[in-house]
Amino acid sequence: MNYNVVHLTDKTIQGTLFDRFGRNNFLDSEIFTFDNILIDDVDENDSRNLILIDLVGSMEGQEWTLLSNHSPKIKKLLKNKNFILVICYEYESILDERLDEIRKNLIDNQINEEKVYLIDFNIFFHKSFDLWNIGQKTPSKMNTAYIDTMIFQNFDVFFPNQNVCQRSQLKQQDRNFKYVCYNNDPKEFRVRLVEDLFNHDLDKFGLISLLKHENPIVLDMKNLGDYRVYPQEHFENTYFSVITESYFWTDTKSESYAWITALTEKVFKGFLLNPFILIGGYKSLHHIRELGFETFSELFDESYDDCFDADERYKLVFSEIDRVCKMDRKKLDDIYYNSLVDKVIYNQDKYMNYDRKKHFNKFMEQFKWN
């Protein structure tokens, strides 16, 4: 089957989802074969056509103006079964306010919602979308699609010498701390965690950063171009990472927010370097294992991953951090070197040799052509 990606502007021809993940992936080229066509040059054809709206940034905030300018032709093309409109937001989750904005612009331009697909990296996007949709006066008929963004992401820029498979941290050596915990954006749950670590005297076991506006806690960070490179010595000097993901429900968030489970670069950079425990979305570990990677149940009770209530999940995670920090060093060494090191190496090898073509094809199967 032939595919065309139809562009409303030439600015989306390079660097957006289908190009970056499907054609110019850093490990596997030509995962997805397609032709680029500008909207002014496309006509009815026998290929499958994806009309692209990119919300990540390449359209420079002009996406709705471009949609409006081209809406007569888009509406005509969408009457054909082999044309759909895809709205891509693969590095973030589409929150309620953005869904409102998208729908308003589709309605204003009389776009058939049944031919629209929203692409998100939240594994439960269909659930969060349905909860948003309950609040609509007239239910939306937009479709949802999920992509494992970080499977296709170029991670070598985050590692020393651009080598993903770092091994120095896995050698038998004296480790002065139990964990490392990076926190850039001082989100509510991250501030809570760092305060709890200090209040429970667990800060002495860890390397902690929290870049809040007042009295930030800073670890030495090296930079490579625009990318932040994790210093190897942080991992050589610790046994595990405490990862705080980008999305974690608190009582200031909407009900739909509780169903955001998104694996960002934080998780992938974490498990490519060391064992980890995660403050993140419901069933995050379950999805990591579904992708074929290992988690670290030899060290942590990972039943927290099955707890939907975010506050209870947080308490379970913190209890495990407390328990492992107080674990006898000899026991910790035994678990780390005899069980966990091999899992980290397995994750590195799995990531480098991942069948990205098969995974991208699975993503494409979400689109219906009828």
- Across the chain, which has 370 residues, the per-10-residue mean pLDDT values are 94 92 81 95 93 91 96 97 97 95 98 98 97 96 97 82 88 96 92 96 96 76 53 94 94 92 93 96 98 98 98 98 97 97 96 94 94
Could you give the CA distance from residue 309 to residue 177 in angstroms, rounded to a whole number?
30
Q: What SS3 state is found at 219?
A: coil
**Cβ atoms 82, 38 nearer than 8 A:** no
Could you give the CA distance from residue 171 to residue 66 in angstroms, rounded to a whole number?
54
State how far the alpha carbon of 198 is from the alpha carbons of 202, 206, 242, 348, in Å. Answer: 6, 10, 14, 33
Q: Residue 311 has which token pair?
A: 């506050």
**Cβ atoms 77, 83 nearer than 8 A:** yes
DSSP readout, 173-194? Answer: ---S-SEEE---S--HHHHHHH
pLDDT for residue 211: 83
Sequence ranges of the domains in the chain: 3-147, 156-352
Beta strands in the chain (DSSP E): 3-7, 35-38, 48-54, 83-89, 116-120, 143-146, 179-181, 206-208, 222-224, 227-229, 240-244, 276-279
pLDDT for residue 228: 67
CB neighbour list of residue 173: distance below 8 Å, 6 or more residues apart: 236
| pLDDT tens digits for range 97-118 | 999 999 999 999 999 999 999 9
pLDDT for residue 217: 82
CB neighbour list of residue 195: distance below 8 Å, 6 or more residues apart: none
Could you give the CA distance from residue 262 to residue 243 in angstroms, rounded to a whole number?
13
Q: Residue 150 has which token pair?
A: 């970080």
Q: Residue 122 has which token pair?
A: 């939240």
How many C-beta neighbours within 10 Å does residue 293 have? 21
- Tell me the whole-structure pTM to 2 decimals: 0.93
- Amino acid (1-letter code) at residue 66: L
| pLDDT tens digits for range 193-218 | 999 999 999 999 999 999 877 778 87
How do strand 240-244 and strand 179-181 relate by DSSP bridges? parallel
Could you give the CA distance from residue 44 to residue 33 in angstroms, rounded to a whole number?
19
